[in-house]
Structure 1
Amino acid sequence: MKKLESREDIEHLVNSFYTKVIKDETISFFFNDVAKVDWNKHLPKMYSFWESILFGQMSYKGNPMAVHFPINEMQAMEKRHFDQWLELWKQTIEENFVGKNADMAIYKSENIAKLMAYKMEMARKL
Structure 2
Amino acid sequence: MKINDVILRTVVKGVVFIVLTLGVYLFFAGHNAPGGGFIGGLVLGSGIVLLYITFDIETVHKGMPFDFKKVAALGVLLATGTAVGSLFFDAPFLTQTDQYFDLPLLGKTHVSTVMLFEAGVALTVIGTLVTIILSISEDE
TM-score normalised by the chain length of structure 1: 0.40
Greater helix share, structure number: 1
Larger RCO (alpha carbons 8 Å, 6+ apart):
1
TM-score normalised by the chain length of structure 2: 0.37
CA radius of gyration, larger in: 2
